[in-house]
Chains A and B, each alone.
Chain A
Amino acid sequence: MKRILAAIAAAALMGCGTMPAITPLRGGELSAAASRCERCFPSGGVRLVQAIEADLPAGAKGSLIGVTLIRPEGQSIHSVLMSIEGLVVFEAVRERKLRVLKALPPLDNPGFAAGMMDDIALAYFRPPVDTMEAGMHRGRTLCRYRAGGGVVDVIVGDGEWRVVKYDDAGRLRREVIGSDLGGDGIPRKILLRAPGLLGYTLLLNLIESEPLR
């Protein structure tokens, strides 16, 4: 798990990956594309229980069970990580600000909590947006959200979605792929890649999900 922290810290050093060019859509086509992209993200609160497989730097591998409450309306996240045996190793809530309720070493670095919440937000919340354009890329709908210098692409098609985050220099920071979509629109599998020398990959397999009242 120390390596997870190291990998997240190393995310700042990542490079590689370029933003694809798109042919912008206009008018009705643009709003239809925007709707398709927004349907990738839950419209209401949801509780997710997932098995997490982590591929870490230097070939290390680890497994955890995650329970996450997501409320898009307030952009709030409540996350618990536990061992397969059920011991809670991490719990944090992000509403207006981040509160770490429990963090066993080596997950007690505040950088870990913030990085993890950013990853969850990237996968489940519509990206923040100042301006949005949409177009087609390799036969798929691509929506490009720009805010605060960063760019997030949402690419939809063939029964999966892809969320790709770039920094203000256009370098790839994160890639999230949601696949095996259920009837409720929740992906049964989510693959999160943080590229770079100390990059990591997380595979989240859905155990159960339920809407929050």
Chain B
Amino acid sequence: MRRRNGAGDDRGGDLRWMIRAGALALCCAFSLAWYGSWDDIRKTAETVNSVKADFVQSKHMKILSRPLVSRGALYFRSPGSLRWEYRSPVKSVLMMSGGRVERYVKGSGGYVKDSSAAIQSMQVVVQEISRWMKGEFNSNPNFVARLKGGGRIVMVPKDASFSNIISRIELKLSGRPGVIESVRIVESEDAYTLIRFERVSLNCNLDDSLFRRL
């Protein structure tokens, strides 16, 4: 423990306080600059060429006694390459590259290409995720997007028939510029999916094969 003695120590304390206050002010200013407006968000996102992150997805529904938790990883490379990979409880890999979307699900006989109608709807979803990665939260004509305080974005479907499927999407931007902290997809008041991103790396080198091969 240090002893406090005299005016020198007081000056040291003042200096430390000023440094902390200055750092805090800088952080606030930086944060405001990152998600203060749509333009700020877009400009920051333009500096991000690639994203690599783990995610934890929890599905909340009345029928479940506890959330159903899935884990996986996300890889994005600008302008439109995406790999959305679930590692548990069901292994599946969704890849978008050159506008083509493919999904493989691991079953009893290994990975099998999904050829059901669901893949068409997934094309819409992955395109939306790609938009977010590019900071384009208000460019989807099917949603009204509002930028709220604290880096919250709320997207509400314009079409009533679509709102029967998804009532709103809530995104929380991280204090770290260019990073999305979480996405909450609300289907109804008692059913929603929360996706939290962890261990996010920006502008890392992502191999082409991630978006084309299992």
Contact = CB atoms under 8 A, between A and B. Distances in A.
A203 interface: yes
B117 A210 contact: no
Interface in B129-177: 164-166
Interface stretch (A46-54, A125-133, A170-178): A46-54
B209 interface: no
A87 B68 contact: no
Contacts of B68: 49, 65, 67, 86, 207
A88 B60 CA distance: 11
What does DSSP make chain A's interface, helix, strand, loop or mixed? strand
B29 to A, nearest CB: 37
A163 interface: no
B90 A84 contact: yes
B185 A86 contact: yes
B5 interface: no
B61 A80 contact: yes
Contacts of B164: 102
Interface string A77-120: 01010111111110100000000001010100000000000000
Interface in B71-106: 84, 86, 89-90, 92, 105
Interface stretch (B12-20, B41-49, B108-116): B108-116
B123 interface: no
Interface stretch (A14-22, A56-64, A140-148): A56-64
A207 B105 contact: no
Interface string A1-30: 111000000000000000000000000000
B117 A1 contact: yes
B46 to A, nearest CB: 28
B107 A63 contact: yes
Contacts of B24: none
23 contacts: A1-B117, A51-B89, A53-B107, A53-B108, A59-B115, A61-B112, A61-B114, A61-B116, A62-B114, A62-B116, A63-B90, A63-B92, A63-B114, A64-B118, A67-B68, A69-B63, A80-B61, A84-B70, A84-B90, A87-B193, A88-B61, A102-B164, A203-B108
Given A47-B64, A61-B105, A203-B107, 12 more contacts: A2-B117, A61-B114, A61-B115, A61-B116, A62-B114, A84-B92, A84-B105, A85-B122, A85-B193, A91-B63, A207-B89, A210-B65
Interface of B: 57, 59, 61, 63-65, 68, 70, 84, 86, 89-90, 92, 105, 107-108, 112-118, 121-122, 125, 164-166, 185, 187, 191, 193
